[in-house]
Amino acid sequence: MNRVPIRSGRSAMDLYAALRTGSPGEISVPGRREVRSEDGFPQTIIAVALTCRWTGRVTMMRNLFEVRELTKIYRKGGVRANDRICMDVRPGEILGILGPNGAGKSTLIKQMTAMIAPTSGTIRYLGRNVTAEPLEVVRRLSYCAQDPYAITSLTTRDALVYTGRLRGMSPSDARARACALIARLQLEEVAHTRVGGLSGGQVKLVGIAAALVGRVEALILDEPTNALDPAKRRLVWDVIVQRNREEGTTVILVTHNVLEAEGVVDRVAVIDYGRLLGLDSVGRLKDMVDERLRIEVTCTFGRRCVAERALKGMGFVEVLGENRLRLYVDRDRAGRVLDQLVANGEEMACEEYKVIPPSLEDAYFLLGGKERIGHAG
């Protein structure tokens, strides 16, 4: 582990300062999301300082996963599914792996969970080589594949109970956990139905429930909300975020759904054609996009030219359709432009407008992505 020396004081402020500067004392600091209190100090660090015994040094927790120069080339067709990917996964975070279908996201995850071997490069989990020690690594993870084939011959309840037993739970604890998850994910009506006879959405929910059985350090979900209606999709995310917040479980979300990723993740890894295009927080990735404010305007039908002439005096105008325009304006002028649209909209042939913030999809294209990423249905 990396050790940061700190001064001998024991206050929360001293401990916080130690993480930035450092000297004599030792304490483990989990890699959770940093939540700041009103005085600006991370609450996680303050809690550690107030509740843990002082021993003399601060120990910074290592990354959960470390992926280095990872390449996967399938023999059939010579497809390069992953191309020299380097990335880290931090303990306690929700990391989104975002990209279009066929980008190489699932191939990356299958290597991280020791399901397939890389062609070259290394993956380490808390320092252990995943390829060399697969059983030691995978027993500490929970993986929900796009299609949970392994449990389709069991009933919903039995699939969850057996999963709990395989993860070392006692029979009574496994049954209790299965019942709790069945209720939480609203699966009571199919608890005694064979999983192979369920609808696509119900099978997906059972697979997610199986991934949530027992205590694991990391939860890896491959397209977890495909085939789910909006209400079930929201339910699944509530359950996953709750698990992350209450138990500190690291979550790796593989998705092509931009809206889901923006709503729940701490950081995003953007992948396309097997390459890692970028890895950062949602906010920082979106900050890379054009800093100008974008305003989409719906024009009075047949009077687009009138609106276009009026808007050109305010900024750059892009034609989106027969009666739709997009106006790009500098942020320091945005207020005045919006005032004009409100006051003179009818005269300018502008029926309505909306301000469009930068999106992850914009960042994806800026980073070099070629295919469009999907959105929630």
Tell me the domains of the chain and their CATH numbers. Answer: 2-60 (no CATH), 65-285 (3.40.50.300), 293-357 (3.30.70)
The model's pTM is 0.71
Query: Sorting pLDDT into bands at 50, 70 and 90, what band is 212?
Result: very high
Q: Given a cut of 70, is residue 16 above it in pLDDT?
A: no
Average pLDDT, integer, range 186-211: 93
pLDDT band at 27 (very low <50, low <70, confident <90, very high): very low
Distance CA 83, CA 274 (A): 5
3-class secondary-structure state, position 95: strand
**Residue 219 in contact with residue 249, Cβ under 8 Å?**
yes
pLDDT of res. 60: 52
Of the listed ranges 89-98, 153-162, 177-186, 342-351, the one predicted with least confidence: 342-351
Per mean pLDDT, which range of 3-7, 247-251, 312-316, 367-371 is the poorest? 3-7
Q: Is the pLDDT at 107 greater than 50, yes or no?
A: yes
Q: Provide the pLDDT for residue 318.
A: 87
> 149: pLDDT confidence band, cut at 50, 70 and 90?
low
* pLDDT value, residue 47: 34
* pLDDT at residue 147 tops 90: no
Q: Which residue has the tokens 């280095």?
A: 68
- When mean pLDDT is compared across 120-124, 230-234, 237-241, 354-358, the lowest value belongs to 354-358
- Structure confidence at residue 5 as a pLDDT band (50, 70, 90): very low
53-67, 189-203, 211-225, 245-259: segment of lowest average pLDDT:
53-67
CA 14 from centre of chain: 33
Higher pLDDT, 50 or 247: 247
The pLDDT confidence band at residue 369, using thresholds 50, 70 and 90, is: low
Confidence of residue 61 (pLDDT cuts 50, 70, 90): low
Give the rounded percent of residues in the chain with a pLDDT score beyond 90. 41
pLDDT at 26 over 60: no
Q: How far apart are CA 122 and CA 117, in angstroms?
A: 10
Percent composition of the chain: helix, strand, coil (DSSP 3-state, to 5): 40, 25, 35
Pairing of strands 128-129, 120-125: antiparallel
- Closest among 343, 341, 364, 340 to 352, alpha carbons compared: 341
- Please give the average per-residue pLDDT across 173-193, as a whole number: 95
Stretch 13-25: mean pLDDT: 41
pLDDT confidence band for 241 (50 / 70 / 90): very high
pLDDT at 175: 95
Q: What is the mean pLDDT of residues 51-58?
A: 37
To the nearest whole number, what is the mean pLDDT of the chain? 80
Joined tokens for residue 32: 């959770």
Alpha helices per DSSP H over 185-278: 200-212, 230-247, 258-264
pLDDT at position 22 over 90: no
CA distance 195 to 148: 9
* Mean pLDDT value across residues 269-283: 90
pLDDT at 343: 87
Average pLDDT over residues 279-299: 83
